[in-house]
Homo-oligomer: A and B are copies of this chain.
Amino acid sequence: MKEVIKSSDNKNFKYLKKLYNKSFRKKEGKFILEGYRLIMEACGKARFDRIFMTPYFAKTDEGEEIIRKFKDHIPVHFVTGKLLYNVADTENPQGIAAITYVPRSGANILFHNRNRGIILILDRIQDPGNMGTIIRTAVAAGIEGIICLKGSVDIYNLKVIRASMGAIFSIPILTGVSFKRLQKIRDEYPDYKLICTDLNTSKFYHEIDYQEPLMLVIGNEARGIREELLSLADIKIKIPLMGNIDSLNAAVSTAIVLYDIVVKCRHSNG
């Protein structure tokens, strides 16, 4: 077995540690995956940079499988549990982490077919669990892609990746999009109807006959969709609230409306 990294001054380990910081992830265009299942999920979908594991994990069946899979292509570093557990985001870390490259994404990946498609636009979703669950739901619904406006939680945050159950690798996601850029995208694709959820409308989501192509906008957990985006809507909808509560969870709202749209547009060929 190769040398085991024992010092937090080791340059490879320092690089991993810095990638737990959002701004360094952005600068490097890389992010971290923790755990066997997520790493296997990403195989064939993500481009890997290097892998870290504890000598203990290396001796498990999963460890041996990962070493076999990666050792001819990228560096596999061994690092003490003390160091690796200490930086890990997961509550009960397994002793395995990988650095992967952020996928290239551009509006043209999303709009591969101008005449058909459903795009989800997220306006400043803040909670990592909500963001991950929304991405997972979007993949299940088979839509074309997601646009995250500036001010949304970083989708390469490990809590998002975990809540997405690895779905983050299965759908084009455009991140850090300014409102100005969104307006430009919209002008380029005028055939897409813009659907916004809005508590102040009188139209219910289930009364609409949706037609592709369309963009569905979901707003921030507390503040909803920003006014200037709401004013661009072709259709405003709301979900009926029939009990003693004034809102739904953001991931739940997304799921209710998105699935209604998808089953209406695609007649359940799932």
Task: List residues of chain A with CB under 8 Å of any chain B CB.
Answer: 129, 133, 136-143, 163, 165, 167, 170-171, 204, 206-207, 239-245, 247-249, 251-252, 255-256, 259-260, 262-263, 266, 268-270
Contact = CB atoms under 8 A, between A and B. Distances in A.
Given A207-B268, A255-B256, A268-B207, A241 B140 contact: yes
Number of copies of this chain that the complex holds: 2
Contacts of A206: 259, 263, 268
A243 B207 contact: no
A262 B205 CA distance: 13
A165 B241 CA distance: 14
A162 to B, nearest CB: 12
B251 A139 contact: no
B136 A248 contact: yes
Contacts of A138: 243
A245 B165 contact: yes
Contacts of A247: 140, 165
Contact of A252 (B133, B242, B245): B133
A242 B270 contact: yes
